[in-house]
Amino acid sequence: MATFTKEAILKSAKEENVKYVRLCFTDINGVLKNVEIPASKLEEAIDNEVMFDGSSIDGFVRIQEADMYLRPDYDTWLISSWEQTTYGKVALLICDIYLPNGEPFSGDPRQVLKRNLKRANDLGFGAFNVGVEPEFFLFKLDHDGRPTLDFNDDGGYFDLAPVDGAEDCRRDIVLELEKIGFNMEASHHEVAPGQHEINFEYSNVVELSDKLQLFKLVVKNVAKRHGLHATFMPKPIAKINGSGMHTNCSLSDLKGNNAFYDPKGEIELSDVAKYWIAGIMKNARAFTAVTNPTVNSYKRLVPGYEAPCYVSWSDANRSAMIRIPAKKGRATRTEIRSVDPSANPYLALSAILASGLEGIEKKLECAPRVYINLYELTREERESMGIDNLPENLKDAVKELKHSDVMKEALGDHVFNKFIEAKKTEWDDFRTSVTEWEIARYLKTM
C-alpha cells in the first residue's frame, strides 16, 4: 500500500470528490466492521477523535466499558472503485482500536498481530512475510436474490469455464483489485465446480492481513454485480473439494535476507527454518481452532479431498500439512496447507508466528520429512511414525487451544478467553441442532 500523510489524504479526498469514508476494523470472528462518516468529518477521524460503542461488537467489551477510539492507519487510505454512487466517491481507512486512556485495546485482532510481530522483531527478525492462496465458490442467486447451492459453472482445475460468466466475474474481480493497488499474480479455476482461486503478491504480515480483508470484500461485491454469491465457507458442499487458504510464510533478518534460506543446508533450508517448522508442528493441534475456526472447517479436513489431515512436513508431498515449495533463495518459504479462508487473518497469523517463534527460541528438533501418502496409512501406522492427526471437529480443536500456553500468550487473555467462549457457543448451537442428514437418515425408519 502507498504511504500517506494527513495532508495527502485530505488532498486526495477533495480532488477525488470523496463524500463518505468508511472507518474499518475487524472483530474476533474475522468480520470486517465499519463506521461511515461524511467527508466533512475526515480530518476529525484522522486526528483519532472518532469514537464507537465497543459493547455492540462480538468479543469486545462489556457495556460499562463501551467507549473506544478508532485510530486510522494512514497507509490504508484507498478510494473504493467497486462502490458506484451518483453523489460522489466512497473511501476507506483501516483502523486500530484504542481505549479512552490512549492505550491499545488488547481485544483488537490487528493489535494482537502487531504485538506478536514486535516479538519477532525483538528476536532479530526484520519482517514476517506472508502470501496466501484463498479459494472461494461462486453460486447462483435465486429470483429473490438469495444464495443457492447451484454452481455457476461445471469446470475443473485450470479449466476455461465460461458458462454463465465465471471467467468474466473472476477477471472483473482481478481488475477491481488492481484498481486499488493489489499486485496480482494469477487467477484460475480450482478443482471443484464453481470454485476459484486468486493470488496476489506477498507482503509484510499486517499489510497482507489488511489486504485479505479487502480482498474478501471486493470478491463478494463484484460477484453480486454479476448476479452471483461468493462464499469463503470452507466446505459448502459435501463430497467435493473444499476451499483452503494455503499460507506461505518466511522471516527476513534485519538486512532483509531470507532467514529460511541456506544454500548449504539440507534441501537449502537454514536451521532457523527447521526450528520454525518444528514449532509449527508442535503447536499445530492447538492453533487449528484459530486457523480453522468454524464447525464447517472440519468437514474440509478429511482424507480424499486434497486437504491435509495430519501434522507433517515435506518438500515433495501434498498430503503433508507443511510443504516446502521448490523455488528457493529469496522465495524460500513454508506453505502451511491446513488454513482455511474463514479464519480471522490477524489472529491466524499471530498463532502461526508465535508457534514458529517458539521453535526458533527453543531450537526445537524438526521431525523427518514424510514422503509416503499419509492418506493411505491407518491411524495406528501414522501414530507409530509419530504423526499426529489434526483435530477432527471444532470441539476437539477448542479443547487443544484451551490448554495451550503458547496460544494464550499469542492471543492475549482477552482474545483467548472471548474466542474460546464464542467457539463453545458455536459448537453447542451445532450440537443441539437437527440436521437434514438426521432427518433423511432416521425420520422414516424409526
Per-position b or e across 252-264, b if 16+ CB within 10 A of its CB: beeeeebbbbbee
| DSSP string for residues in 360-406 | HHHTPPPPPP--S-GGGS-HHHHHHTTPPBPPSSHHHHHHHHHT-HH
User: Does 49 participate in catalysis according to the annotation?
Assistant: no
Please tell me which residue in 337, 340, 358, 400 is annotated as part of the active site: 337
Please tell me which residue in 96, 108, 176, 197 is annotated as part of the active site: 197
Please tell me which residue in 133, 164, 167, 400 is annotated as part of the active site: 133
Please tell me which residue in 53, 201, 381, 392 is annotated as part of the active site: 53
What's the full length of the chain, in residues? Answer: 446
Cα separation, 105 vs 125, in Å, equals 25
Please say whether the dihedral angle defined by the alpha carbons of residues 231, 237, 240 and 245, taken in this order, is positive or negative.
positive
Can you point out the beta strands (E) in 142-276?
147-151, 184-189, 195-200, 203-204, 228-231, 245-253
User: Does 229 participate in catalysis according to the annotation?
Assistant: no
User: Does 426 participate in catalysis according to the annotation?
Assistant: no
Please say whether the dihedral angle defined by the alpha carbons of residues 8, 126, 201 and 360, taken in this order, is positive or negative.
negative
* Cβ atoms of residues 333 and 249 within 8 Å: yes
User: Does 414 participate in catalysis according to the annotation?
Assistant: no
Residue 16, SS3 per DSSP: coil
User: Does 335 participate in catalysis according to the annotation?
Assistant: yes
Please tell me which residue in 27, 164, 262, 335 is annotated as part of the active site: 335
User: Does 246 participate in catalysis according to the annotation?
Assistant: yes
Please tell me which residue in 96, 153, 176, 190 is annotated as part of the active site: 190
User: Does 135 participate in catalysis according to the annotation?
Assistant: yes
Please tell me which residue in 135, 153, 164, 340 is annotated as part of the active site: 135
Contacts of 126 (CB under 8 A, 6+ apart): 252, 253, 254, 255, 256
Phi/psi at 159 (nearest 5 deg)? -70, 150
Residue with cell 466517491: 89
Q: 363: how many CB neighbours lie within 10 A of its CB?
A: 13
* Cβ atoms of residues 232 and 342 within 8 Å: yes
Residue 192: which of 301, 306, 302 has the closest Cα? 306
User: Does 115 participate in catalysis according to the annotation?
Assistant: no
Alpha carbon 76 to chain centroid, angstroms: 18
Residue 290 identity = V
Cα 8–Cα 14–Cα 18 angle in degrees, nearest 5 = 110
Alpha carbon 81 to chain centroid, angstroms: 23
Q: Report the first-to-last Cα separation within the chain, whole angstroms.
A: 60
Cα separation, 25 vs 303, in Å, equals 36
Please tell me which residue in 189, 246, 300, 323 is annotated as part of the active site: 246
* Cβ atoms of residues 94 and 72 within 8 Å: yes
Residue with cell 500439512: 321
User: Does 197 participate in catalysis according to the annotation?
Assistant: yes
Would you name the residues annotated as active-site residues?
53, 133, 135, 190, 197, 246, 318, 335, 337
